[in-house]
Amino acid sequence: MKKKRNFNLIAGGILAGGMLLFILAGVFFLPQDPETMNLELKFAGMSLSHPFGCDNFGRDIFSRVMVGARTTLIVALGTVGIGAGVGTLIGAFTGYFGGWLDEVMMRIIDALFAFPSILLALVVISLLDKGKYQVILALGIAFIPSFARVVRGQFLKCRELDYVKNARIMGCSSLRIIFVHILPNTLNVLVPTVMIGFNNAVLAEAGMSYLGLGVQPPDASLGRMLSEAQTHLFSQPLYAIFPGLAIILLVLGFSLLADGLEAK
């Protein structure tokens, strides 16, 4: 049992770390310009200068995957930042104080939870317009309920524990109890939740961009590349494989990491 746990953590760490390194490397160095078109290289196969081949405009797929993965990462981080930040605050306060505020907030959260997050994001997009920042905001809002629920559950559990009662007896303020005494104890649940949330954000962003509602050209995004690749699936399957693979590796890495941490 113990061996397997470590395996998850190690494999997840290597995959996620490798993908992050790959994305980071793309910030400083790109083998080719991702926007340069070269019709002579249309659908070129794998070669040393174009390791993943070229797309329908003769652009280097390797460089485009690097840039697209970066965009996806930024959107996912922003999304999780908004969702986890706001969700944690809501969950912490409603869970700790309870009462009618909790009752009302939970009704609203339940109503929002009734929407699958991508649907909620679509509503926001249809109200705001398309674009990278709109997607971050839309998905961020869509992710608040799930974080709020998890954190609230943890706070409900912790607030009944004797160490919290001790803190109240010694006269700690509610804010101090929430942030200094209880919050650190929710991290073991919160961190895996954030990682899973990150994965869902990656998948959701890819889905939205695939539908053309997310990141707009000229920004490259993995979802968008897949949607373009689909039309040329017959002539250049590589174009679809590599962006998809990038998504899978990124998500797989973080889900293994989350599993490993959770089992700890």
Partner 1 sequence: MKYVGKKLLTMLLTLLLVSFLVFLCFTVIPGDPASARLGTEATPEAVEMLREEMGLNRPFFVRYGDWLLSFVRGDFGESYDYEMTVGELLADKIPITLTMSLMSMLLIIVLSIPLGLYTARHEGSWADRGIYALNQVIMAVPAFFAGILITLFFGILLKMFTPGGYVSYRRDFGGFLAYMFFPSLSIALPKIAMTVKLLRSGLISEKKQDYARTAYSRGNHTGGVLYKHVLKNAMLPILTFLGMTLTDMIAGSIVVEQVFSIPGIGRVLLTAISHRDYPVVMAVIVCLAGVVILVNGLVDLLYQWIDPRIRLEAQP
Partner 2 sequence: MREENVTAAAAGTTAGAEKGIDRKASSPMLQIQDLNIEFHDHSIPETVVYDFDLVMEEGDIVGIVGESGSGKTMSALALCGLLSRHDMKKTGRILFGGKELLTCSRAEMRTLQGSDISIIFQEPMTSLNPVKKIGWQVEEALRIHTKLSPEECRERALWALGEAELPEPEKVYEQYPHELSGGMRQRVMIAAAIVCHPKILVADEPTTALDVTIQAQIMELLLKLNREQKTAILFISHDLSLVRRLCRRVVVMQNGYIVEQGDVEEIFRHPKEEYTRRLIAAIPSCDGEKEEKDFAGAPVVMEAQHVQTGYDVAEGGLWGKKFRKQILQDVSFTLRQGEVLGLIGESGCGKSTLAKVLVGLKKDYSGRIEIPDHNVGMVFQDPYSSLNPSKTVGWILEEPLRVRGVRSKEERRGRVLEMLQRVELEEDLLNHYPGQLSGGQRQRVCIALALMNRPRVLIADEPVSALDVTVQAQVLEILAQLKEEMGLAILFISHDLRVVYQLCDRVMIMRRGEIVEEGSPKEIYFSHKHPYTGQLLKAAGILEDL
- In the complex, minimum distance from the CB of residue 116 to partner 2, in angstroms, rounded to a whole number: 25
- In the complex, minimum distance from the CB of residue 179 to partner 1, in angstroms, rounded to a whole number: 30
Distance from C-alpha of 120 to C-alpha of 122, rounded to nearest angstrom: 5
Helices and strands of the chain, counted as H and E runs: 10, 0
DSSP 216: P
Q: Which is nearer to partner 2, 133 or 163 (CB)?
A: 163
Quick note: the x/- pattern for partner 2 over 180-209, rule CB under 8 A, is -x--xx-x----------------------
Contacted entry of partner 2, partner 1, none for residue 252, CB cut-off 5 to 8 Å set by kind: partner 1
- Closest by CA to 75, choosing from 123, 26, 121, 119, is 121
Contact assessment for residue 142 and residue 120, using Cβ atoms and an 8 Å cutoff: yes
Residues of span 161-180 touching partner 2 by CB under 8 A: 161-163, 165-172, 176
264 binds partner 2 (CB under 8 A): no
List the end-to-end C-alpha distance of the chain, in Å, as a whole number. 11
Give the CA radius of gyration of the chain.
Answer: 22
114 binds partner 2 (CB under 8 A): no
- Closest by CA to 256, choosing from 14, 31, 42, is 14
Residues of span 14-43 touching partner 2 by CB under 8 A: none
7 binds partner 2 (CB under 8 A): no
Contact assessment for residue 137 and residue 124, using Cβ atoms and an 8 Å cutoff: yes
- C-alpha distances out from residue 232 to 44, 47, 69, 229, 247, Å: 13, 19, 21, 5, 19
4 binds partner 2 (CB under 8 A): no
Interface with partner 1 (CB under 8 A)? 1, 4, 107-108, 110-111, 114-119, 122-123, 125-127, 199, 203, 206-207, 210-213, 223, 226, 229-230, 233-234, 237, 240, 244, 247-252, 255-256, 259
127 binds partner 2 (CB under 8 A): no
Distance from C-alpha of 120 to C-alpha of 100, rounded to nearest angstrom: 26
Instruction: Tell me the CB-side half-sphere exposure of residue 251, using CA atoms within 13 A.
Output: 17
Q: Which is nearer to partner 2, 166 or 231 (CB)?
A: 166
- In the complex, minimum distance from the CB of residue 23 to partner 1, in angstroms, rounded to a whole number: 16
100 binds partner 2 (CB under 8 A): no
- The residue type of 242 is F
Distance from C-alpha of 32 to C-alpha of 90, rounded to nearest angstrom: 45
- In the complex, minimum distance from the CB of residue 178 to partner 2, in angstroms, rounded to a whole number: 13
Q: Three-state SS for 175?
A: helix
Q: Which is nearer to partner 1, 7 or 163 (CB)?
A: 7
Instruction: Tell me the CB-side half-sphere exposure of residue 149, using CA atoms within 13 A.
Output: 15
Contacted entry of partner 1, partner 2, none for residue 161, CB cut-off 5 to 8 Å set by kind: partner 2
Q: Which is nearer to partner 1, 138 or 182 (CB)?
A: 138
Q: Write out the residues near partner 2 by the rule CB under 8 A.
A: 1-2, 103, 161-163, 165-172, 176, 181, 184-185, 187
